[in-house]
A and B are shown apart, each in its own frame.
Chain A
Amino acid sequence: MARIKLFIPLFIFLVLAVLLYWGLGRDPSAMPSALVGKSVPAFKLPALADETSMLDASLFQGQVSLLNVWATWCPSCRVEHPFLMELAKQGVPIIGLDYKDERDKALAWLADYGDPYKQVIFDPQGTLGLDLGVFGAPETYLVDAEGRIHFKRVGVVDARVWEQDFAPRYQALLDGETPVADPNDR
């Protein structure tokens, strides 16, 4: 018994070492989104390209899509942009949310660098951003055909992030589309 007690400090040290090592590898800025599993919040905002046409959450019905929060004041969005172009070319529908931005600048950006978006929601006040829990651009959400959010990424989406986090979930949603609509068809 006395022998075993001698090893208690070593045991405590080992437990602490494992915990601290595990803590080192974690990204402290990674947070689970409160909205994963919920629908895209209701909104009524103009399109970037045409301020008279109003968009709402029905935009996300009917297809699996990405919701990408961006702005011209955001340097990381510029970094991310070429990969979004690539995704668009592959046929992934991307809805843009132009967050707290100016219309002229945003339109110039899309004209200069290309437009990967099927539609861009213009949100100069950041109201939809607030309801989504956006706290910095870029952010990217994976939304299913019923408008439910399945995954959220804060920060740049590049090829590695896409392969690792998005592609498997995206594919699963695409494959699952018909069975959800008609369970007998499985």
Chain B
Amino acid sequence: MREHLIKTRKSVARGLLTVVLLAGSVVALAAIELNRLSTPELSSRYKQLIQEYRCPKCQNQNLADSDSPISIDLRREIRRMLEEGKSDREISDYLVARYGEFVLYRPRLQHSTYLLWLGPLLLLLIGAVIVVLVIRRQARPIQAQEEISQAALNPAEKARLQDLLAEPNASASIAKGDNASQYGSDSSP
């Protein structure tokens, strides 16, 4: 039992060490590149920009995550343009001119991407319309049933129904009266 515990502790410690070392290496890698920028503002813009562009070679990674040669080149180009004082728009124009709209993880709003941007909204609207239709459909049969049951009563019955609905203790008095007529006749000779 005790040996088992020690073993578990050892493996936990080893796991933690691995995690810490790995995390350290990532931080170090990021820091090396960030240090190459002259101001903290540029560094933070750089950090954000490389998240938003896709590596052309490894298609499911952004420039920040990818270590392929082309991503390293593109990161270097982005750093260069940032130092030259280029705007975010100019940088994305530069990349789009070479690698196409494909590199943008946040596509621009234009006629080819209307469906992409507005599609979810459209689906939401369609869903809302369906919900409204279903609710209306469910509400209608209850009304219709009431109308039908009322139509089946003759005028006297209708009047009595109105009375019953209007008087709060109507049901109690009816019950009493019914009892009297039913049992009273039997008990009194």
Is the beta-carbon distance between B59 and A35 smaller than 8 angstroms?
Answer: no
Choose one: A34, A100, A132; the contact of B69 (CB below 8 Å): A100
Q: How large is the interface on A (under 10, 10 to 19, 20 to 34, 35 or more residues)?
A: 10 to 19
Is the beta-carbon distance between B77 and A135 smaller than 8 angstroms?
Answer: no
* Segment at the A interface, from B30-38, B91-99, B137-145: B91-99
- Residues of chain B from 39 to 65 with CB closer than 8 A to chain A in the complex: 56-57, 59
> How many residues on B have C-beta within 8 angstroms of the other chain's C-beta atoms?
15
What is the bound-complex CA distance between A35 and B99, given in angstroms? 8
Q: A100-B69, A130-B77, A135-B70 are in contact. Are A34 and B99 (CB under 8 A)?
A: yes
Given the complex, which residues of B lie within 8 Å of A32, measured CB to CB? Answer: 100
A31 within 8 A of partner (CB): yes
What is the bound-complex CA distance between A184 and B137, given in angstroms? 71
B102 within 8 A of partner (CB): yes
What is the bound-complex CA distance between A34 and B101, given in angstroms? 8
- Residues of chain B from 78 to 105 with CB closer than 8 A to chain A in the complex: 96-102
Is the beta-carbon distance between A33 and B100 smaller than 8 angstroms?
Answer: yes
Given the complex, which residues of B lie within 8 Å of A136, measured CB to CB? Answer: 57, 70
* Residues of chain B at the chain A interface (Cβ within 8 Å): 56-57, 59, 69-70, 73-74, 77, 96-102
